[in-house]
Amino acid sequence: MLLFHALAIAPLVSSVLGQQIWDIWETARDKSTLFKSLQPAVINFVSPGAAGAADIQVNDGAVYQQMDGFGAALTDSSAKLLSGLKSSNSNAYWELLRKLWDVADGANSAGMPVLRVPIGASDFSALGYSFDDEWNDTSFSRLSADRAPSYLWSTLADIKSIQPGIKLFFLPWSPPAWMKDSNSLNGGRVWADRSDQLAQYLFKSIQAIKNKGFDTYAISIQNEPENSNPTYPTALVAPDVAALVGNALRTLLNNNGFSRVKIIGYDHNWDHAAAYPVTMINNAPNAFAGAAFHCYGGNVGQQEDFHRAHPGKEIYFTECTGEFGSDWWSDIKWNMDNIFIGSVEHWARAAMLWNVALDGKGQQVLPGSSSCGGPGCRAVVTISGSSYTLNQEWYAIAQSNRATNPRDANGPFGQRIGSSVSGGTGWALRVTAFKTTRNNPADWNRYSLVVLNWADNPVQSVRTTIGFRGQQATYTFKTGLTTLWWYAQN
């Protein structure tokens, strides 16, 4: 009987003792630590005591969306700068690629598992082009991915060598000019009677990209389909036309070996989340996996408008850019509050910023483009000749991916779980929580927190209790960003 009793309580004792916070990564407001592993003494979960100034409760019984991760976009201009760095300083180039895309567990890297790539020119290209600029080439016999500069594909190949499983999101800033009433890549509206041809164009672009050696994870019909800026490639695509394209494209993909490719709609601002993407999916519910959003209008809470209308559809956040001249810490706070924590709280599976790399003036912008005026757009990293600088966006992405990237090689990504914050100083903390399962079901799951302490007037560290499965750990969060994790039985 005593032996039976001992065996019965052993798993419980093991579970309690096994809940230990053993790795903490921090980026401090004062830059005293910059994405640094603190390697603290083990912090145990113990029987609960008094709550701290803030109290975080983690509920792994409340399970939400699966994550794809956090990243940015490889524009032509980003690829050109990276290619130039490779030529001028190969060691720095490969070091930077690892700092951006190495997803190995514990790597000192942003570990970006998602990457957005334009099909054809964007506002960050040397010149305007689509994959098929042969006028009225309805057979697409002249379509070619080689219309893109060679450095785009060579850079993407190098990125893939660092991270073979990277998830690539492709989309056009404009279809071929002959599909639009402007007869130009810049501005204009896609003709409704060209919907089948636009679907063919997107499908054949995916085929051409595949022939270059790259698998498409997701494709969007059109970047910012309510934007008709006449100074760079843009296009108006009505939601009913997007639905027609989506239905035709879904059939083409399913019938030609690309059934796993997701179709994402909208890719535009938060402010119309209750309108355009809802109408589009109402008209083509089986074509689209979900909708994507940008930050340039409205607020992140409006993602809920779309979610309420289509709770079974996925949400992605796919574009926002920094600008030169802003404050380092203020940018980190805004990006975490609205994108890397905020959009995830509102159901985003992935969150991506705009250019992954630009120069110190936010160049190269397409000649004549009005995009990114004023001081210029700031990328995730700045490349200057043979050297590079990691910008504030890099640290926000790195801290976020540290919580959601797989624990095991080629393993599952994290999944958002329930969390809440209370206490007299609970207002100072913005928190998301994740569970990452394992390749081997017998291995314990990893549980992670991303915590923004934005108490900066005055600056104050916050002694915090963390509750999980009836146990409690205590940690003091500095003003800044912190990612920490522990393991527990499944």
Domain ranges of the chain: 22-66+414-488, 69-404
What radius of gyration do the chain's Cα atoms show?
23
- CATH of the domain spanning 22-66+414-488, picked from 2.40.50.140, 3.30.70.1450, 3.40.50.720, 2.60.40.1180: 2.60.40.1180
Instruction: Say what the pLDDT of residue 3 is.
Output: 33
Residue 40: is its pLDDT beyond 80? Answer: no
| Residue 17 reports pLDDT greater than 90 | no
Q: Token pair of 378, please?
A: 């700031």
H-type helices in 102-172, by residue range? 150-162
pLDDT at 105: 86
Encoding tokens for residue 122? Answer: 């964007």
Q: Is 377 in contact with 355 (CB distance < 8 Å)? A: yes
Banded model confidence at residue 258, pLDDT cuts 50, 70, 90: very high
Question: What is the pTM assigned to this prediction?
Answer: 0.95
CATH number 3.20.20.80 given to 69-404: yes
Which pLDDT band holds residue 487 (cuts at 50, 70, 90)?
A: very high
- Residue 18: predicted pLDDT: 58
Q: What is the pLDDT of residues 153-167, one digit of tens each?
A: 999 999 999 999 999
What residue type is 135 in one-letter code? Answer: W
Question: Which contacts (CB < 8 Å, 24+ apart) does range 373-378 have?
Answer: 374/323, 374/325, 375/323, 375/324, 375/325, 376/323, 376/324, 377/321, 377/322, 377/323, 377/324, 378/321, 378/322, 378/323, 378/324, 378/326
- Mean per-residue pLDDT for 385-392? 97
- Here the tokens at position 62 are 């409340």
CA atoms within 13 A on the CB side of 73: 29
What average pLDDT is seen over the chain? 95
Which of 401, 469, 359, 468 minimizes the C-alpha distance to 70? 401
414-468 tens-digit pLDDT: 999 999 999 999 999 999 999 999 999 999 999 999 999 999 999 999 999 999 9
Residues 356-380, mean pLDDT to the nearest whole number: 94
pLDDT at 39 over 90: no
For the record, the structure tokens of 147 come out as 């219309």
Looking at residue 8, what is its pLDDT? Answer: 34
Q: What is the mean pLDDT of residues 84-100?
A: 98
pLDDT digits (tens, 9 = 90+) for 260-311: 999 999 999 999 999 999 999 999 999 999 999 999 999 999 999 999 999 9
Residue 267 is inside which H or E element, if any?
strand 262-269
- Is pLDDT of 15 > 90? no
* Average pLDDT for 305-320: 98
Of the listed ranges 16-20, 263-267, 339-343, 362-366, the least confidently predicted one is: 16-20
Q: Which two tokens stand for residue 23?
A: 């790795």
